[in-house]
């Protein structure tokens, strides 16, 4: 059993799915699917905490309906051009123009993961130079 949240990325562009899998794989357990039947099989056999839709079309809208019927239902994130138009079935929506790191940030926020910065205690300095006293 993994301590990382499980994500399912679905969409029609396999190259985009693979690049997002690599990007999100350091913080999440990621499965990808470019086919409706494969995605449905993943959903039946594995519990996912988040399903990310990288493509919005009629078949993936139907898949969102199946996703909502899971117990417990996973959160749903949709990546779509029409951010102003609310999607009733999605918990959150982002635009692809925001870039891939906006996707990572949104996924982290949906799980309550905090990003640490240097001002919060992390430093990019591995050591301090010794002070010479003369």
Q: What is the pTM of this model?
A: 0.80
**6-114 homologous superfamily:** Response regulator (3.40.50.2300)
- Any residues with CB less than 8 A from the CB of 10 and at least 6 apart, and which? 17, 32, 33, 34, 39, 51, 52, 53, 54, 55, 60, 63
Listed by start position, the domains of the chain span: 6-114
Residue 80 · residue 56 · CB < 8 Å: yes
Can you give the pLDDT of all 134 residues of the chain as single tens digits? 568 899 999 999 999 999 999 999 989 999 999 999 999 999 999 999 999 999 888 999 899 999 989 889 999 999 988 766 778 889 999 999 999 999 999 999 998 886 665 555 544 454 455 566 66
The 3-state DSSP class for residue 95 equals coil
């Amino acid at each position: 059993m993994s301590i990382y949240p499980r994500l399912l990325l679905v969409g029609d562009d396999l190259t985009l799915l693979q690049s997002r899998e690599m990007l999100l794989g350091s913080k999440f357990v990621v499965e990808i699917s470019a086919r409706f039947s494969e995605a449905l099989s993943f959903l039946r056999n594995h519990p996912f905490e988040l399903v990310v839709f990288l493509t919005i079309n009629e078949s993936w809208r139907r898949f969102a309906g199946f996703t909502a019927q899971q117990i417990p239902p996973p959160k749903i994130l949709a990546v779509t051009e029409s951010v102003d138009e609310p999607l009733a079935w999605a918990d959150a929506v982002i635009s692809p123009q925001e870039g891939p790191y906006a996707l990572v940030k949104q996924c982290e926020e949906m799980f309550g993961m905090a990003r640490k910065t240097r001002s919060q205690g992390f430093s990019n300095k591995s050591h301090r130079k010794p002070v010479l006293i003369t």
